[in-house]
Amino acid sequence: MLPPTFQHLSIAGGVRAAMSRNPGKQALKHGKNKRSYKQLTDRMDRISNGLIHDLKLTPKDHAAIVSSNSIEYMEIILGASQVGIAMATINPKLSPIEIQLICNDVEAKVLFVDESSAELLRDVHFETITTVIAINNELEEWINQSKPISDLPVVQEWDVFTIPYTSGTTGKPKGVLVPYRSRILQLFGMAVEYGCYSPDDRFLAIAPMCHGAGMIFALAPIFFGGYAEIMDQFDPEEIVTALKKEHITGFFGVPTHFHGILSLENAILEKNKPASLETIISNAAALPQAIKEEIVKVFGDDVLHETYGSTEGGIISNLRPADQLRKLQCVGQPFPCTYIKVINESGDECNPNEVGEI
C-alpha cells in the first residue's frame, strides 16, 4: 500500500518542474525552431488532450512515431507519456515492410510520421492504426485545435514509457517495454556521473531519438532545466561549429560520429575548439583506442566518458576521463546505484582474470 502523499516519478513532471522555475527560459532549439519551457509544456499538454479526447485513446493504449529528430518528436513523446500512452519509437531508415510489422506487433492505434516517412508509408496498410498524423502543418493544426489537458490521469512509474525496437545483431526487432522508473533513475545517475546536466548546462543532441540512447540523452537536459540543441543529420563541421557557437557543455556520440569529426581539417577543429565543453559521452560500440587518443588530444584529457549499456538495461557502467588512456579495452566501473557481476557458463561469479559474461 502506497502512502496517500506518494507521487509517481514522471519525465514529463520533471520538465514541468523545470518550467515552474523559469517559464521563459529556452529549452530546445532545432535549426530556426525554438521552444521555451512554457511553450514546451503547453504543447505537450495539448498533445495529451488531443490523444485522450480527440483520438479517444486510453492509458495503456499504444502509439508509434517514425521520424527524424525534431522538437516535435520530444513534444509527442512527453505528451503521450504523461497520459500513459506508450510510444513505439521506430527507426525511419527501416523499410515500409519492417515499419508495418513493428506497428502491427505493438498494436499502435495512432502513428506520427515526418514528411519523408509519410510519403514512404502512404500505401502501407496497418492492422490497428486508425489515425496517421504528419509532423508538419497537419500536426500544428491538430495541436492548435486542442486545449491543454486539465486533469492528468495517474500514470504509475513502473508503467511503460516507450517501446523501442531492437534486434541486436540477429533476428527480427523485438519491442522493449521501458518503464518510466528505469529511465528516470538513469537520468539521475547520468547527472551524477557526467556532470553536464545542471540547469546551466547546454547539451548537443545528435543521436537518433528512435534509439534508447538518443532518446535519453536528448531528454536529460530538459528534465533538469537545461538546454538542448537538436540536430537531425550528421554533419561533422556543423557539429563542431555548434559546440563553440552555442557554448555547448556536453554531447553524446557514437564511434562513427567521432571518426567523422576527427577527419576534419585541423584548422577547422582549432577554429571551433569549444572552451565551454566539459563532457563527451561515447556509447553504442567500442571506441577504438586510437580515436580515444585523438579525442583527448583535440578536446582535452578531462572530458571523455565511454559508457556501456543496452536498450533493455540502460547504462550499466562508465569509463571515466582519468582512465581513458590508462585502462585499455575496459568498460569502466558500475554506474551509480548499479551492481555488476561477471558470471561463467554455470551461472557462478567469475574469479579474477576469468572470462565470463556481465
pLDDT for residue 7: 86
Q: How far is residue 324's CA from residue 331's CA, in Å, rounded to a whole number?
A: 10
pLDDT in tens, 316-333: 999 999 999 999 888 899
CATH architecture of 181-334: 3-Layer(aba) Sandwich (3.40)
Q: How far is residue 89's CA from residue 66's CA, in Å, rounded to a whole number?
A: 7
pLDDT for residue 302: 93
Taking the chain, what is the end-to-end CA distance rounded to the nearest angstrom? 34
Contact 225, 191 (CB under 8 A): no
Q: How far is residue 61's CA from residue 84's CA, in Å, rounded to a whole number?
A: 8
Domain residue spans of the chain: 36-179, 181-334
Q: Which region holds residue 329: left if phi is over 0, alpha if psi is between -120 and 50, else beta? A: left
Cell reading at 189: 545517475
The fold adopted by the segment(s) 36-179 is: Rossmann fold (3.40.50)
pLDDT in tens, 245-271: 999 999 999 999 999 999 999 999 999
Q: What are the angstrom distances between the C-alpha of 153 and each of 59, 83, 219? A: 8, 6, 22
Q: Which residues pair with 280 in a beta bridge?
A: 251, 304
pLDDT for residue 66: 97
pLDDT-based confidence at residue 168 (cuts at 50, 70, 90) = low
CB proximity list for 44: less than 8 A, separation 6 or greater: 12, 15, 75, 78, 79, 82
For residue 204, give the H/E element and its range. Answer: strand 202-205
**CA 87, 89, 91: angle at the middle one, nearest 5?**
160
Q: How far is residue 48's CA from residue 147's CA, in Å, rounded to a whole number?
A: 9
Cell reading at 198: 545542471
pLDDT in tens, 12-27: 999 999 999 999 999 9
Going by their DSSP bridges, the two strands 314-319 and 333-334 should be labelled as: antiparallel
Asked if the domains at 36-179 and 181-334 fall in one CATH topology, the answer is: yes
pLDDT in tens, 98-154: 999 999 999 999 999 999 999 899 899 999 999 999 999 999 999 999 999 888 888
Q: What is the mean pLDDT of residues 38-47?
A: 97
- The count of other CB atoms within 10 Å of the CB of residue 320 is 15
- The count of other CB atoms within 10 Å of the CB of residue 1 is 4
pLDDT in tens, 213-222: 889 999 999 9
- Look up the pTM and report it: 0.92
